[in-house]
Amino acid sequence: MLKFSYSSYELSPKFSLNSVTKEIPRPGALLKIEWPDGLCGYADLFPWPELGDDILEKHLEGLKKGRISRLLEQSIWLARKDAQLRLEKKSGLSEVRKIKNHYTVADYTKISDIMVAEIKNQGFTTLKIKVGRDPMDEARWIERTIKKSPYLNFRLDFIGNRDFSVFERLMTSLSLSLKPHIEFAEDPVPYDLEAWREASKLCPLAVDFEFDNVKWDVIPLPFRTVILKPARQDVAKVLDLVNKHNLKLAITSSMDHPVGVAHALMVASEIKKVWPGRVVECGCLTHLLYWPNDFSKELVTQGPCLVQMGGTGIGFDALLAKQTWNPIR
Ligand code: MG
């Protein structure tokens, strides 16, 4: 039997995080998992109820009754990796510098030209923008930003907005000469083969939350890139499909706790080692979207990369040891 304990936390966003969430503290829990073979590892549990997840309490309640949600399944898988490395006294983040990340812009209205210049000077080359609130204004902001910083590329995340015209209006408002700066649009509308084929005529596409709705026997698929969130998806299954269809892979955190950020980076390092050509820029540095806490202070970055962390497994050894752990019985 696995032994679970949890430690609750809240993350305070600096801005509204996307078109469907409000700027309020978000609850999550760190998990400590102990196996009968003596191994002990840590992972994060950070549901997104706005995007269809059960609330945190429901996952923990279920766990008491032996019900393992899909998020918990991933937490257990990640904690086991951490546990194995802790046993061997190895770090899972020794090659993390090789993972380059985009800069996530949750609310572009709060990002001034000076801030964009600063982000660029730090070494970021790609901005990922959460869009879908006001397509015309978003297009204007992107145009202006590209003109001021011509070496930046953009990833636009529509989070499966129900209205095709939102995507269409944004894309058709951008001048043709700036189109090559749009690396991809993510989940432009809910997945539907015809709608995505139409959308792909305006811009290359990437699939994230719509992954489960894809019919994989269709060739060619209407997207080129898959967003992989190890906190939410069966990694082996995604890798299998990505390799089979010759797609690119961007590994991202789930905009979760720094423990989740470290796990996403560890998985990204592992995959990049085996398939270096498959992994494009990742999106793991989402701790920058929240006000700092003790854990995020240990994530030292140099521009788009995390600097190698001390400790074993995913790190944070001393901080994890001093959390208050509530056993789940
Ligand atoms: Mg997304």
Q: What is the mean pLDDT of each run of 10 residues along the chain (329 residues)?
A: 96 78 87 98 96 95 94 98 98 95 92 93 96 93 92 94 93 92 97 97 97 94 98 98 97 98 98 96 96 96 93 98 96
Report how far ligand 1's centroid is from the alpha carbon of 136 (Å). 20
Expressed in angstroms and rounded, the spacing between residue 80 Cα and the centre of ligand 1 is 26
Q: What Å distances lie between residue 72 and 4, 51, 91, 245, 327, CA to CA?
A: 11, 16, 23, 28, 16
Residue 21 has a pLDDT of 65
Cα 205 to averaged position of ligand 1 atoms, centre (Å): 11
Query: Quick one: 116 exposed, middle or buried, by C-beta within 10 A (0-12, 13-18, 19+)?
Result: buried
Tokens 């730090």, located at residue: 122
Ligand 1 centroid vs 51 CA: distance in angstroms?
Answer: 11
Distance (angstroms) between ligand 1 centre and the Cα of 35 equals 33
Q: How far apart are CA 292 and CA 294, in angstroms?
A: 7
Catalytic residue, from 100, 130, 248, 272: name it. Answer: 130
Cα 311 to the center of its chain, rounded Å: 23
Res 19: pLDDT: 61
- 8-state DSSP, 174: S
C-alpha–C-alpha distance, residues 309 and 311, integer Å: 7
| The pLDDT value given to residue 269 | 97
Angle between helices 258-274 and 70-87 (to 10 degrees): 70
pLDDT at position 188:
97
Q: Give catalytic status of residue 147 as yes or no.
A: no
Measure 39 CA to ligand 1 centroid, in angstroms.
Answer: 33
**CA 159–ligand 1 middle distance (angstroms):** 5
Cα distances from 120 to residues 15, 114, 123, 252, 259, in angstroms, run 20, 10, 5, 20, 26
Number of separate helices (H) and strands (E) present in the chain: 9, 13
Helices (H), the chain: 56-64, 70-87, 113-121, 135-148, 164-173, 193-200, 235-244, 258-274, 317-321
Instruction: Select which of 100, 120, 229, 272 is catalytic.
Output: 229
Q: Which of 193, 145, 142 is nearest to 172 (CA)?
A: 142
pLDDT score at 24: 86
CA–centroid distance, 207 to ligand 1, in Å, is: 8
Distance 210 CA to ligand 1 centre (A): 9
Query: What's the confidence (pLDDT) of residue 20?
Result: 64
Distance 130 CA to ligand 1 centre (A): 8
Specify whether the CB–CB gap between 11 and 290 falls below 8 A.
yes
130 is catalytic: yes
Q: How far is the CA of 113 from the centre of ligand 1 (A)?
A: 24
Distance 183 CA to ligand 1 centre (A): 14
Q: What is the pLDDT of residue 248?
A: 98
Three-state DSSP string of 309-328: CCCCECCCHHHHHCCCCEEE
